[in-house]
Structure 1
Amino acid sequence: MTLQEDGSGRMAIEMDLSEMMAFGGDLMKDSIPKRIDSIISFKQFLEEKKDSIATLPEAEQRKLKKLENYKLHMVIDTDEGTMVFDMFTDFSNVAEANELMNGMQNSSRLMPSMGDTNVSKTEDASGEVFGTSFSFTNDVFKRDAYIIDEAAHKKQLDSMQGMEAFMGSSTYKLKYTFPKKIKEASVEDATFSLDGKTIVIERSFTAYIRNPDVLDLEVILENE
Protein backbone atom coordinates (compact mmCIF):
# COMPACT_ATOMS: atom_id res chain seq x y z
CA MET A 1 0.00 0.00 0.00
CA THR A 2 1.20 3.50 -0.84
CA LEU A 3 -0.35 6.36 1.17
CA GLN A 4 -0.38 10.05 0.32
CA GLU A 5 -0.61 12.84 2.89
CA ASP A 6 -4.32 13.39 2.18
CA GLY A 7 -5.09 9.71 2.94
CA SER A 8 -5.48 8.66 -0.68
CA GLY A 9 -3.27 6.03 -2.25
CA ARG A 10 -2.90 2.75 -4.09
CA MET A 11 -3.43 -0.77 -2.80
CA ALA A 12 -1.93 -3.82 -4.46
CA ILE A 13 -1.76 -7.54 -3.77
CA GLU A 14 0.84 -9.67 -5.52
CA MET A 15 0.57 -13.45 -5.57
CA ASP A 16 3.68 -15.30 -6.69
CA LEU A 17 2.49 -18.77 -7.69
CA SER A 18 5.76 -19.80 -9.34
CA GLU A 19 6.46 -22.37 -6.65
CA MET A 20 2.97 -23.82 -7.03
CA MET A 21 3.55 -24.16 -10.78
CA ALA A 22 6.85 -25.96 -10.13
CA PHE A 23 5.11 -28.19 -7.58
CA GLY A 24 2.46 -29.09 -10.18
CA GLY A 25 5.09 -30.15 -12.69
CA ASP A 26 4.40 -30.70 -16.39
CA LEU A 27 0.72 -31.46 -15.74
CA MET A 28 0.08 -27.91 -14.51
CA LYS A 29 2.29 -26.32 -17.16
CA ASP A 30 0.27 -28.06 -19.86
CA SER A 31 -2.99 -26.69 -18.43
CA ILE A 32 -2.02 -22.99 -18.61
CA PRO A 33 -0.91 -20.68 -21.45
CA LYS A 34 2.80 -20.84 -22.23
CA ARG A 35 3.43 -17.11 -21.95
CA ILE A 36 1.27 -14.16 -20.79
CA ASP A 37 2.08 -10.56 -19.87
CA SER A 38 -1.13 -8.56 -19.82
CA ILE A 39 -3.31 -6.26 -17.73
CA ILE A 40 -6.95 -7.21 -17.29
CA SER A 41 -9.67 -4.75 -16.30
CA PHE A 42 -12.13 -6.31 -13.87
CA LYS A 43 -14.81 -3.95 -15.17
CA GLN A 44 -14.37 -5.34 -18.66
CA PHE A 45 -14.19 -8.91 -17.39
CA LEU A 46 -17.42 -8.53 -15.38
CA GLU A 47 -19.17 -7.01 -18.39
CA GLU A 48 -18.10 -9.91 -20.60
CA LYS A 49 -19.31 -12.46 -18.01
CA LYS A 50 -22.49 -10.61 -16.99
CA ASP A 51 -24.79 -13.38 -18.20
CA SER A 52 -23.01 -15.98 -16.05
CA ILE A 53 -22.81 -13.57 -13.13
CA ALA A 54 -26.56 -12.94 -13.33
CA THR A 55 -27.15 -16.60 -12.41
CA LEU A 56 -25.24 -16.26 -9.12
CA PRO A 57 -26.85 -15.53 -5.74
CA GLU A 58 -27.33 -11.83 -4.98
CA ALA A 59 -24.63 -11.88 -2.30
CA GLU A 60 -22.04 -13.20 -4.75
CA GLN A 61 -23.07 -10.65 -7.38
CA ARG A 62 -22.55 -7.82 -4.88
CA LYS A 63 -19.08 -9.11 -4.04
CA LEU A 64 -18.12 -9.19 -7.71
CA LYS A 65 -19.58 -5.72 -8.25
CA LYS A 66 -17.10 -4.34 -5.72
CA LEU A 67 -14.24 -5.42 -8.00
CA GLU A 68 -15.12 -3.06 -10.86
CA ASN A 69 -12.27 -0.63 -10.25
CA TYR A 70 -9.55 -3.26 -9.95
CA LYS A 71 -6.96 -4.20 -12.53
CA LEU A 72 -4.96 -7.42 -12.69
CA HIS A 73 -1.47 -7.75 -14.14
CA MET A 74 -0.77 -11.36 -15.10
CA VAL A 75 2.76 -12.58 -15.89
CA ILE A 76 3.14 -16.25 -16.82
CA ASP A 77 6.16 -17.89 -18.43
CA THR A 78 6.19 -21.67 -18.21
CA ASP A 79 9.73 -21.90 -19.61
CA GLU A 80 11.06 -19.59 -16.89
CA GLY A 81 8.78 -21.10 -14.24
CA THR A 82 7.11 -17.76 -13.51
CA MET A 83 3.48 -17.19 -12.50
CA VAL A 84 2.71 -13.86 -10.84
CA PHE A 85 -0.65 -12.11 -10.36
CA ASP A 86 -0.55 -8.45 -9.32
CA MET A 87 -3.93 -6.86 -8.54
CA PHE A 88 -4.18 -3.14 -7.80
CA THR A 89 -6.61 -0.26 -7.35
CA ASP A 90 -6.59 3.34 -6.12
CA PHE A 91 -8.51 4.73 -3.15
CA SER A 92 -9.41 8.26 -2.05
CA ASN A 93 -9.24 7.68 1.72
CA VAL A 94 -8.40 4.97 4.26
CA ALA A 95 -12.07 4.24 4.98
CA GLU A 96 -12.46 3.33 1.32
CA ALA A 97 -9.32 1.19 1.58
CA ASN A 98 -11.08 -1.00 4.14
CA GLU A 99 -13.79 -1.87 1.60
CA LEU A 100 -11.22 -2.37 -1.13
CA MET A 101 -9.18 -4.79 0.98
CA ASN A 102 -12.27 -6.92 1.59
CA GLY A 103 -12.89 -6.91 -2.16
CA MET A 104 -9.32 -7.96 -2.83
CA GLN A 105 -9.57 -10.86 -0.40
CA ASN A 106 -12.75 -12.03 -2.12
CA SER A 107 -11.21 -11.69 -5.55
CA SER A 108 -8.20 -13.86 -4.73
CA ARG A 109 -10.50 -16.84 -5.28
CA LEU A 110 -11.39 -15.50 -8.71
CA MET A 111 -7.89 -14.71 -9.97
CA PRO A 112 -6.86 -18.19 -11.20
CA SER A 113 -10.12 -18.41 -13.18
CA MET A 114 -9.93 -15.05 -14.95
CA GLY A 115 -9.47 -16.82 -18.24
CA ASP A 116 -12.38 -19.19 -17.76
CA THR A 117 -15.70 -18.69 -19.48
CA ASN A 118 -17.64 -20.00 -16.48
CA VAL A 119 -17.84 -17.76 -13.42
CA SER A 120 -20.32 -19.94 -11.56
CA LYS A 121 -17.56 -21.61 -9.56
CA THR A 122 -17.56 -18.56 -7.27
CA GLU A 123 -20.95 -19.76 -6.01
CA ASP A 124 -19.19 -22.53 -4.13
CA ALA A 125 -16.54 -20.27 -2.65
CA SER A 126 -16.44 -20.09 1.11
CA GLY A 127 -17.40 -16.95 2.96
CA GLU A 128 -14.84 -14.48 4.23
CA VAL A 129 -12.63 -15.94 6.95
CA PHE A 130 -10.46 -12.88 7.68
CA GLY A 131 -11.07 -9.16 7.72
CA THR A 132 -8.64 -6.24 7.74
CA SER A 133 -9.21 -2.69 8.91
CA PHE A 134 -7.01 0.38 8.40
CA SER A 135 -6.91 3.79 10.03
CA PHE A 136 -4.68 6.79 9.33
CA THR A 137 -5.17 9.75 11.65
CA ASN A 138 -2.77 12.39 12.99
CA ASP A 139 0.27 10.68 11.44
CA VAL A 140 -0.61 7.32 13.03
CA PHE A 141 -1.34 4.36 10.75
CA LYS A 142 -2.90 1.14 12.08
CA ARG A 143 -3.54 -2.20 10.43
CA ASP A 144 -5.68 -4.73 12.29
CA ALA A 145 -6.46 -8.21 10.96
CA TYR A 146 -9.17 -10.30 12.57
CA ILE A 147 -11.14 -13.53 12.14
CA ILE A 148 -14.67 -13.02 10.81
CA ASP A 149 -15.92 -16.60 10.86
CA GLU A 150 -14.47 -18.85 13.58
CA ALA A 151 -16.06 -22.02 12.15
CA ALA A 152 -14.70 -21.32 8.66
CA HIS A 153 -11.30 -20.57 10.18
CA LYS A 154 -11.26 -23.94 11.96
CA LYS A 155 -12.08 -25.69 8.67
CA GLN A 156 -9.27 -23.77 7.00
CA LEU A 157 -6.82 -24.87 9.68
CA ASP A 158 -7.94 -28.50 9.34
CA SER A 159 -7.55 -28.46 5.56
CA MET A 160 -4.16 -26.75 5.82
CA GLN A 161 -2.62 -29.68 7.67
CA GLY A 162 -2.44 -31.72 4.49
CA MET A 163 -0.85 -28.84 2.56
CA GLU A 164 1.95 -27.87 4.94
CA ALA A 165 4.60 -29.51 2.76
CA PHE A 166 3.52 -27.34 -0.16
CA MET A 167 2.82 -24.15 1.79
CA GLY A 168 5.73 -24.39 4.20
CA SER A 169 7.94 -21.96 2.29
CA SER A 170 5.16 -19.56 1.29
CA THR A 171 5.31 -16.12 2.84
CA TYR A 172 2.98 -13.18 3.36
CA LYS A 173 4.76 -9.85 2.91
CA LEU A 174 3.36 -6.42 3.75
CA LYS A 175 4.90 -3.27 2.26
CA TYR A 176 3.66 0.19 3.24
CA THR A 177 5.01 3.48 1.88
CA PHE A 178 4.12 6.71 3.67
CA PRO A 179 4.40 10.40 2.74
CA LYS A 180 6.68 11.08 5.73
CA LYS A 181 9.53 9.29 7.48
CA ILE A 182 8.61 6.60 9.99
CA LYS A 183 9.33 7.54 13.59
CA GLU A 184 8.16 4.34 15.33
CA ALA A 185 6.75 0.95 14.33
CA SER A 186 5.19 -1.77 16.47
CA VAL A 187 6.96 -4.63 14.66
CA GLU A 188 10.51 -5.14 15.91
CA ASP A 189 11.84 -7.23 13.01
CA ALA A 190 10.50 -5.02 10.22
CA THR A 191 12.84 -3.68 7.55
CA PHE A 192 12.89 -0.09 6.31
CA SER A 193 13.83 1.71 3.10
CA LEU A 194 16.83 4.02 3.02
CA ASP A 195 14.60 7.10 2.97
CA GLY A 196 12.75 5.82 6.06
CA LYS A 197 9.32 6.06 4.43
CA THR A 198 8.69 2.39 3.61
CA ILE A 199 8.27 -0.52 6.02
CA VAL A 200 8.27 -4.21 5.07
CA ILE A 201 7.03 -7.05 7.28
CA GLU A 202 7.20 -10.74 6.35
CA ARG A 203 5.65 -13.77 8.01
CA SER A 204 5.15 -17.35 6.94
CA PHE A 205 1.79 -17.87 5.26
CA THR A 206 0.91 -20.71 7.60
CA ALA A 207 1.60 -18.48 10.65
CA TYR A 208 -0.76 -15.87 9.24
CA ILE A 209 -3.50 -18.42 8.58
CA ARG A 210 -3.21 -19.73 12.14
CA ASN A 211 -3.27 -16.24 13.66
CA PRO A 212 -3.83 -13.14 11.47
CA ASP A 213 -2.70 -10.92 14.38
CA VAL A 214 0.93 -11.67 13.45
CA LEU A 215 0.61 -8.99 10.74
CA ASP A 216 -0.98 -6.31 12.90
CA LEU A 217 0.89 -3.04 12.64
CA GLU A 218 1.01 0.46 14.11
CA VAL A 219 3.23 3.11 12.55
CA ILE A 220 3.87 6.63 13.88
CA LEU A 221 5.21 9.13 11.35
CA GLU A 222 7.52 12.03 12.03
CA ASN A 223 5.67 15.31 12.49
CA GLU A 224 7.55 17.44 10.01
Structure 2
Amino acid sequence: MKLYKLLSFSFLIATLTSCTLTENIYVNDNGTGKFSVDMDGSSLMAMAGDQLGDQMGADAKKNIDTTFTFKQLFEEKKDSIAKLSPEAQKELKKLENFVVNTKMNAEKKEFLMTLSTDFKNVNELQDALQSMSALQKLEGGANAAAPFSKGLGDNNSKLSYTYDGKKFTRKAVIDKQKLAEKAKDSAADMSKMIFASSNYIIKYHFPKRIKKVSNPNATFSEDRKSITIQYPFTDYMENPDKLNFEIEFEK
Protein backbone atom coordinates (compact mmCIF):
# COMPACT_ATOMS: atom_id res chain seq x y z
CA MET A 1 0.00 0.00 0.00
CA LYS A 2 1.35 3.44 -0.88
CA LEU A 3 2.34 5.56 2.10
CA TYR A 4 -0.02 8.44 1.43
CA LYS A 5 -2.99 6.16 0.85
CA LEU A 6 -2.31 4.55 4.20
CA LEU A 7 -1.93 7.93 5.86
CA SER A 8 -5.23 9.12 4.42
CA PHE A 9 -6.91 6.00 5.77
CA SER A 10 -5.32 6.61 9.18
CA PHE A 11 -6.65 10.14 9.12
CA LEU A 12 -10.13 8.83 8.32
CA ILE A 13 -9.94 6.42 11.26
CA ALA A 14 -8.87 9.24 13.56
CA THR A 15 -11.64 11.63 12.56
CA LEU A 16 -14.64 9.35 12.21
CA THR A 17 -14.59 7.22 15.31
CA SER A 18 -14.07 7.14 19.00
CA CYS A 19 -10.74 5.60 19.86
CA THR A 20 -8.38 4.95 22.73
CA LEU A 21 -5.04 6.72 22.91
CA THR A 22 -2.45 5.39 25.36
CA GLU A 23 0.58 7.46 26.28
CA ASN A 24 3.49 5.27 27.40
CA ILE A 25 6.78 6.34 28.95
CA TYR A 26 9.50 3.86 29.94
CA VAL A 27 12.33 5.38 32.00
CA ASN A 28 15.62 3.54 32.54
CA ASP A 29 18.05 3.82 35.46
CA ASN A 30 20.17 6.41 33.67
CA GLY A 31 17.20 8.61 32.72
CA THR A 32 17.02 7.54 29.09
CA GLY A 33 13.92 5.80 27.83
CA LYS A 34 11.18 5.35 25.26
CA PHE A 35 8.03 7.34 24.58
CA SER A 36 5.05 6.14 22.56
CA VAL A 37 1.42 6.94 21.90
CA ASP A 38 -0.76 4.04 20.79
CA MET A 39 -4.05 4.59 18.98
CA ASP A 40 -6.60 1.79 18.84
CA GLY A 41 -9.15 2.54 16.12
CA SER A 42 -10.50 -1.00 15.91
CA SER A 43 -14.01 0.13 16.81
CA LEU A 44 -14.42 1.78 13.41
CA MET A 45 -13.15 -1.37 11.69
CA ALA A 46 -15.82 -3.31 13.56
CA MET A 47 -18.61 -0.85 12.78
CA ALA A 48 -17.80 0.20 9.23
CA GLY A 49 -15.27 -2.26 7.91
CA ASP A 50 -17.22 -3.02 4.73
CA GLN A 51 -17.63 0.62 3.75
CA LEU A 52 -13.99 1.33 4.46
CA GLY A 53 -13.06 -1.77 2.52
CA ASP A 54 -14.84 -0.38 -0.53
CA GLN A 55 -12.86 2.84 -0.23
CA MET A 56 -9.53 1.08 0.22
CA GLY A 57 -10.14 -1.43 -2.57
CA ALA A 58 -7.93 -4.53 -2.75
CA ASP A 59 -5.61 -3.09 -0.09
CA ALA A 60 -8.35 -3.55 2.52
CA LYS A 61 -8.15 -7.33 2.10
CA LYS A 62 -4.48 -7.38 3.04
CA ASN A 63 -3.06 -7.63 6.52
CA ILE A 64 -0.88 -4.57 6.93
CA ASP A 65 2.07 -4.15 9.25
CA THR A 66 4.16 -1.21 8.09
CA THR A 67 6.66 1.12 9.71
CA PHE A 68 8.14 4.42 8.59
CA THR A 69 10.07 7.26 10.21
CA PHE A 70 9.33 10.93 9.80
CA LYS A 71 12.85 11.21 8.43
CA GLN A 72 11.71 9.09 5.47
CA LEU A 73 8.60 11.22 5.02
CA PHE A 74 10.64 14.43 5.14
CA GLU A 75 13.01 13.06 2.52
CA GLU A 76 10.06 12.54 0.19
CA LYS A 77 8.85 16.06 0.97
CA LYS A 78 12.24 17.79 0.91
CA ASP A 79 11.24 20.18 -1.87
CA SER A 80 8.20 21.35 0.07
CA ILE A 81 10.21 21.61 3.28
CA ALA A 82 12.80 23.79 1.54
CA LYS A 83 10.07 26.38 0.94
CA LEU A 84 9.20 26.61 4.65
CA SER A 85 10.68 29.18 7.01
CA PRO A 86 13.92 28.30 8.82
CA GLU A 87 11.92 28.16 12.05
CA ALA A 88 9.44 25.62 10.64
CA GLN A 89 12.27 23.53 9.23
CA LYS A 90 13.93 23.51 12.64
CA GLU A 91 10.71 22.30 14.27
CA LEU A 92 10.32 19.45 11.77
CA LYS A 93 13.93 18.43 12.37
CA LYS A 94 12.99 17.56 15.97
CA LEU A 95 10.56 14.92 14.69
CA GLU A 96 13.00 13.00 12.48
CA ASN A 97 13.53 10.15 14.95
CA PHE A 98 9.83 9.50 15.55
CA VAL A 99 8.60 6.19 14.12
CA VAL A 100 5.04 5.39 13.03
CA ASN A 101 3.88 1.77 12.96
CA THR A 102 0.49 0.82 11.52
CA LYS A 103 -1.22 -2.57 11.79
CA MET A 104 -4.48 -3.41 10.08
CA ASN A 105 -6.24 -6.77 9.97
CA ALA A 106 -9.60 -6.70 8.20
CA GLU A 107 -10.57 -10.21 9.33
CA LYS A 108 -9.94 -9.42 13.00
CA LYS A 109 -11.42 -5.92 12.62
CA GLU A 110 -8.19 -4.49 14.01
CA PHE A 111 -6.55 -1.15 13.40
CA LEU A 112 -3.62 -0.02 15.56
CA MET A 113 -1.23 2.88 15.10
CA THR A 114 1.81 3.77 17.23
CA LEU A 115 3.99 6.86 17.32
CA SER A 116 7.25 6.29 19.20
CA THR A 117 10.74 7.62 19.84
CA ASP A 118 13.69 7.06 22.16
CA PHE A 119 14.89 9.88 24.41
CA LYS A 120 18.02 10.70 26.36
CA ASN A 121 16.06 12.73 28.91
CA VAL A 122 12.30 13.17 29.33
CA ASN A 123 12.80 16.93 29.03
CA GLU A 124 13.45 16.38 25.31
CA LEU A 125 9.85 15.31 24.79
CA GLN A 126 8.49 18.78 25.49
CA ASP A 127 10.00 20.36 22.36
CA ALA A 128 9.37 17.36 20.14
CA LEU A 129 5.67 16.97 20.94
CA GLN A 130 5.00 20.67 20.46
CA SER A 131 6.68 20.40 17.07
CA MET A 132 3.82 18.17 15.88
CA SER A 133 1.90 21.31 14.96
CA ALA A 134 4.61 22.09 12.38
CA LEU A 135 3.32 19.13 10.34
CA GLN A 136 0.24 21.19 9.51
CA LYS A 137 2.47 23.39 7.34
CA LEU A 138 3.70 20.42 5.34
CA GLU A 139 1.44 19.17 2.55
CA GLY A 140 0.36 15.64 3.43
CA GLY A 141 2.28 15.79 6.69
CA ALA A 142 -0.74 16.32 8.91
CA ASN A 143 -2.18 12.98 7.83
CA ALA A 144 1.08 11.28 8.79
CA ALA A 145 0.61 12.31 12.40
CA ALA A 146 -3.13 11.85 12.69
CA PRO A 147 -4.48 11.51 15.28
CA PHE A 148 -1.31 12.60 17.04
CA SER A 149 -1.11 16.08 15.53
CA LYS A 150 -4.82 16.45 16.27
CA GLY A 151 -4.32 15.55 19.92
CA LEU A 152 -0.79 15.91 21.25
CA GLY A 153 -0.15 19.01 19.21
CA ASP A 154 -3.55 20.66 19.39
CA ASN A 155 -5.01 20.88 22.91
CA ASN A 156 -4.05 24.51 23.60
CA SER A 157 -1.34 23.78 26.12
CA LYS A 158 2.39 23.31 26.49
CA LEU A 159 3.29 19.93 27.96
CA SER A 160 6.51 19.27 29.85
CA TYR A 161 8.03 16.37 31.77
CA THR A 162 10.75 16.34 34.43
CA TYR A 163 12.55 13.45 36.13
CA ASP A 164 15.49 13.59 38.53
CA GLY A 165 15.36 10.12 40.09
CA LYS A 166 13.45 11.40 43.10
CA LYS A 167 10.41 12.92 41.43
CA PHE A 168 8.64 12.79 38.08
CA THR A 169 6.23 15.49 36.94
CA ARG A 170 3.84 15.81 34.04
CA LYS A 171 2.62 19.37 33.59
CA ALA A 172 0.47 21.02 30.94
CA VAL A 173 0.21 24.82 31.00
CA ILE A 174 -2.88 26.12 29.21
CA ASP A 175 -2.49 28.85 26.58
CA LYS A 176 -5.49 31.01 27.49
CA GLN A 177 -5.36 32.99 24.26
CA LYS A 178 -5.56 29.85 22.10
CA LEU A 179 -8.30 28.48 24.34
CA ALA A 180 -10.36 31.64 23.84
CA GLU A 181 -9.89 31.44 20.07
CA LYS A 182 -10.91 27.79 20.03
CA ALA A 183 -14.10 28.59 21.96
CA LYS A 184 -15.21 30.71 18.99
CA ASP A 185 -14.46 27.94 16.50
CA SER A 186 -17.50 25.90 15.48
CA ALA A 187 -15.19 23.03 14.55
CA ALA A 188 -14.43 22.62 18.26
CA ASP A 189 -17.99 21.40 18.88
CA MET A 190 -17.59 18.81 16.12
CA SER A 191 -14.30 17.68 17.64
CA LYS A 192 -15.99 17.36 21.02
CA MET A 193 -18.68 15.12 19.52
CA ILE A 194 -16.11 12.92 17.77
CA PHE A 195 -14.10 12.28 20.91
CA ALA A 196 -17.00 12.14 23.39
CA SER A 197 -16.64 8.40 23.95
CA SER A 198 -12.85 8.23 23.57
CA ASN A 199 -10.34 7.66 26.35
CA TYR A 200 -6.82 8.88 27.01
CA ILE A 201 -4.76 6.48 29.10
CA ILE A 202 -1.40 7.16 30.71
CA LYS A 203 0.97 4.27 31.45
CA TYR A 204 4.35 5.17 32.95
CA HIS A 205 7.08 2.71 33.91
CA PHE A 206 10.07 3.52 36.15
CA PRO A 207 13.21 1.78 37.46
CA LYS A 208 12.25 2.62 41.05
CA ARG A 209 9.29 1.77 43.29
CA ILE A 210 6.72 4.54 43.51
CA LYS A 211 6.03 5.99 46.95
CA LYS A 212 3.02 8.14 46.03
CA VAL A 213 1.20 9.85 43.16
CA SER A 214 -0.68 13.13 43.43
CA ASN A 215 -3.52 11.78 41.26
CA PRO A 216 -5.90 9.66 43.41
CA ASN A 217 -7.14 7.68 40.39
CA ALA A 218 -3.74 6.16 39.62
CA THR A 219 -3.48 2.37 39.83
CA PHE A 220 -0.19 0.59 40.52
CA SER A 221 1.44 -2.49 39.11
CA GLU A 222 2.29 -5.28 41.56
CA ASP A 223 5.90 -4.13 41.87
CA ARG A 224 4.79 -0.47 42.25
CA LYS A 225 7.13 0.58 39.44
CA SER A 226 4.32 1.40 37.00
CA ILE A 227 1.14 3.48 37.12
CA THR A 228 -1.96 3.67 34.93
CA ILE A 229 -4.41 6.57 34.85
CA GLN A 230 -7.43 6.79 32.56
CA TYR A 231 -9.12 10.04 31.52
CA PRO A 232 -11.98 10.93 29.18
CA PHE A 233 -10.39 12.23 25.98
CA THR A 234 -12.49 15.38 26.34
CA ASP A 235 -10.50 16.17 29.51
CA TYR A 236 -7.27 15.88 27.56
CA MET A 237 -8.57 18.22 24.86
CA GLU A 238 -10.51 20.76 26.96
CA ASN A 239 -8.85 20.64 30.39
CA PRO A 240 -5.32 19.31 29.79
CA ASP A 241 -4.17 20.54 33.19
CA LYS A 242 -6.39 17.86 34.76
CA LEU A 243 -3.75 15.40 33.60
CA ASN A 244 -1.03 17.11 35.62
CA PHE A 245 0.49 15.07 38.43
CA GLU A 246 3.65 14.38 40.42
CA ILE A 247 5.23 11.07 41.37
CA GLU A 248 7.56 10.53 44.31
CA PHE A 249 9.81 7.46 44.47
CA GLU A 250 11.01 5.38 47.38
CA LYS A 251 14.61 5.96 48.42
- Evaluate the alpha carbon distance shift between residue 71 and residue 194 of structure 1 in structure 2; reply closer, same or farther with a 3 A threshold: same
Indicate yes or no: 2:113 matched with 1:82. no
3-state SS of paired residue (2:123): helix
TM-score, normalised relative to structure 2: 0.73
How many angstroms does 1:8 deviate by? 1.1
% identical equivalent positions: 34
State the alpha-carbon separation in 2 of the partners of residues 112 and 23 from structure 1: 22
State the alpha-carbon separation in 1 of the partners of residues 179 and 82 from structure 2: 26
> What amino acid is aligned across from residue 143 of structure 2 in structure 1?
P
Larger RCO, structures 1/2 (Cα 8 Å, 6+ apart): 2
Indicate yes or no: 2:161 matched with 1:130. no
2:197 aligns to what? Answer: 169
Indicate yes or no: 2:245 matched with 1:217. yes
> What amino acid is aligned across from residue 90 of structure 2 in structure 1?
R
Contact 2:155 2:237 in 1 (8 A): no
State the alpha-carbon separation in 2 of the partners of residues 77 and 153 from structure 1: 41
Contact 1:147 1:153 in 2 (8 A): no
Indicate yes or no: 2:176 matched with 1:145. no
1:52-201 paired onto structure 2 within 5 Å: 52-103=80-131, 110=141, 112-113=143-144, 129-148=156-175, 150-151=177-178, 154-155=181-182, 158-201=186-229
- Evaluate the alpha carbon distance shift between residue 150 and residue 23 of structure 1 in structure 2; reply closer, same or farther with a 3 A threshold: farther
CA offsets per residue over residues 54-111 of structure 1, 9 Å max, x none? Answer: 2344443333221111111111223333222101111111222322332457669946
State the alpha-carbon separation in 1 of the partners of residues 193 and 64 from structure 2: 28
Decide which structure has greater helix share.
Answer: 2
CA offsets per residue over residues 39-67 of structure 1, 9 Å max, x none? Answer: 11221221122123223444433332211
How many angstroms does 1:10 deviate by? 0.7
CA offsets per residue over residues 91-149 of structure 1, 9 Å max, x none? Answer: 111222322332457669946347xxxxxxx9xxx977322111112510000012236
Aligned partner of 1:45 among 59, 68, 73: 73
How many angstroms does 1:15 deviate by? 1.7
How many angstroms does 1:164 deviate by? 4.2
Contact 1:129 1:153 in 2 (8 A): no
State the alpha-carbon separation in 2 of the partners of residues 76 and 210 from structure 1: 30
3-state SS of paired residue (1:94): coil
State the alpha-carbon separation in 2 of the partners of residues 208 and 127 from structure 1: 10
Name which of structure 1's ranges 214-223 and 62-71 shifts more when overlaid on structure 2. 62-71
- Structure 2: segments with no counterpart, 5+ residues: 1-24
2:6 aligns to what? Answer: none
How many angstroms does 1:168 deviate by? 1.8
1:119 aligns to what? Answer: none
- Structure 1: segments with no counterpart, 5+ residues: 115-121
CA offsets per residue over residues 141-161 of structure 1, 9 Å max, x none? Answer: 000012236335642674232
- Superposition RMSD in Å: 2.9
Aligned partner of 1:31 among 46, 55, 66: 55
Contact 2:213 2:247 in 1 (8 A): yes
CA offsets per residue over residues 13-55 of structure 1, 9 Å max, x none? Answer: 1122233455666443433442310111221221122123223
